[in-house]
Chains A and B, each alone.
Chain A
């Protein structure tokens, strides 16, 4: 039987994803203003490791959310609650959000993988190097990471606008993702 809202797991994953994405944006703006690293100047070490770890974790969280989301589909939104163009926009926006999260995280990892800096997964496991240091590849993936992140911010703004619009209408659509 289809329920009115998303499953609790999907709801929890959605909000963890939301907080993580905002944290990644805010912390990245700050950490890129820290002095470039040397042996003596290590301000960037912790924030960069944390940034990479959260990003790599999201690479797994997004497919998990999608799996849960499609395994437990909520009942469709009544057509009286949403105009067809809005429904189309919401669907397209969701797809772009998921794609851009993955592109941002994967390109970030690949950019880092082409630098001399190693990554320790949550300070527990040293990840093996997947590529030799290569400035051109680092720059390429770094550009993809940057532009995908800006794009993500734009589509997230559309996503949030839609949520606020429906909450102000009080039509019950937002409630589907607010089940604790």
Chain B
């Protein structure tokens, strides 16, 4: 017996497409923000870091610490942390990361639109979905390769979450390919 909710007809759309579409939309929104922030992060760190790579002594007056809820040690560490990032970042990395994160943000936003087309089930959404999910997977793979070629500090920061996104995009890609196959065989 089929229920209203699992019917695969044109009035309600396809169940697999609706489920995949909403997951794509939620993750797409999050990833757009995530990639945009990454691009900004790299641009800010490069543009505001003194050429020497050394920062002046951290500015940690007591009233600021109280306002920010920081200890003196934490305040000093924030400056040291940025210096450490600069120290462990190869010269080529920020530009590569800005490009990859920028393209990633664009593809992630397009994936929100593709996700909407899947929820509405339009068969024309299948090919763009494969392209966009594949593109996102390629961005993850390129970021993974870039980070692998840095050092242990950046690998510790980036690799686990890039791998998580790779798995998510791989699942999305397999999902759309499987869905297309099911739809075609029906």
Residues of A whose CB lies within 8 Å of any CB of B are: 15, 18-19, 22-23, 25-27, 30, 32-38, 40-43, 45-47, 50, 135, 138-139, 142, 160, 163-164, 167-172, 174-175, 178-180
Q: List 8 A-B contacts (CB under 8 A).
A: A27-B36, A33-B78, A36-B64, A50-B40, A168-B22, A170-B6, A170-B14, A170-B15
Which among A40, A45, A175 is the interface contact of B55 at CB below 8 angstroms?
A40
Which among B7, B64, B82, B116 is the interface contact of A34 at CB below 8 angstroms?
B82
Task: Report whether A35 and B50 are in contact in the complex, using a CB–CB cutoff of 8 Å.
Answer: no
The complex places the Cα of A18 from the Cα of B108 at a distance, in Å, of 13
Q: Which residues of B have CB within 8 Å of A37?
A: 59
Q: Which residues of A have CB within 8 Å of B113?
A: 180
Closest 5 CB pairs of A and B: A167-B22, A22-B33, A178-B116, A23-B33, A35-B79
Asked if B58 is at the interface of the complex by the 8 Å CB criterion, the answer is yes
Chain B 38-76: CB-based contact to A (< 8 A → 1; otherwise 0): 001101110110100001101110011001100000010
Q: Which residue of B lies closest to A165 (CB)?
A: B22
Q: Which residues of A have CB within 8 Å of B6?
A: 170
Task: Report whether B18 and A22 are in contact in the complex, using a CB–CB cutoff of 8 Å.
Answer: no
Within the complex, the shortest CB–CB distance from B4 to chain A, in Å, comes to: 7
Task: Report whether A32 and B68 are in contact in the complex, using a CB–CB cutoff of 8 Å.
Answer: yes
Task: Report whether A174 and B50 are in contact in the complex, using a CB–CB cutoff of 8 Å.
Answer: no
Task: Report whether B41 and A30 are in contact in the complex, using a CB–CB cutoff of 8 Å.
Answer: yes
Within the complex, the shortest CB–CB distance from B109 to chain A, in Å, comes to: 7
Question: Which of A27, A138, A167, A175 has the most C-beta atoms of chain B within 10 angstroms of its own C-beta?
Answer: A167
The complex places the Cα of A37 from the Cα of B68 at a distance, in Å, of 12
Task: Report whether A168 and B18 are in contact in the complex, using a CB–CB cutoff of 8 Å.
Answer: yes
Asked if B37 is at the interface of the complex by the 8 Å CB criterion, the answer is yes
Task: Report whether B109 and A19 are in contact in the complex, using a CB–CB cutoff of 8 Å.
Answer: yes
Q: Which residue of A lies closest to B47 (CB)?
A: A46
List residues of B (73-98) whose CB comes within 8 Å of A's CBs: 75, 78-79, 81-82
Task: Report whether B55 and A35 are in contact in the complex, using a CB–CB cutoff of 8 Å.
Answer: yes
The complex places the Cα of A23 from the Cα of B108 at a distance, in Å, of 13
Q: Which residues of A have CB within 8 Å of B12?
A: 170-172
Q: Which residues of B have CB within 8 Å of A174?
A: 18, 22, 119
Q: Which residue of B lies closest to A167 (CB)?
A: B22
Q: Which residues of B have CB within 8 Å of A160?
A: 26
Q: Which residue of B lies closest to A160 (CB)?
A: B26
The complex places the Cα of A169 from the Cα of B56 at a distance, in Å, of 57
Task: Report whether A171 and B82 are in contact in the complex, using a CB–CB cutoff of 8 Å.
Answer: no
Q: Which residue of B lies closest to A11 (CB)?
A: B116
Task: Report whether A167 and B18 are in contact in the complex, using a CB–CB cutoff of 8 Å.
Answer: yes
Q: Which residues of A have CB within 8 Å of B26?
A: 160, 163-164
The complex places the Cα of A86 from the Cα of B116 at a distance, in Å, of 23
Task: Report whether A36 and B75 are in contact in the complex, using a CB–CB cutoff of 8 Å.
Answer: yes
Task: Report whether B44 and A41 are in contact in the complex, using a CB–CB cutoff of 8 Å.
Answer: no
Asked if B13 is at the interface of the complex by the 8 Å CB criterion, the answer is yes
Q: Which residue of B lies closest to A29 (CB)?
A: B37
Chain B 1-36: CB-based contact to A (< 8 A → 1; otherwise 0): 000111100001111001101110110011011101
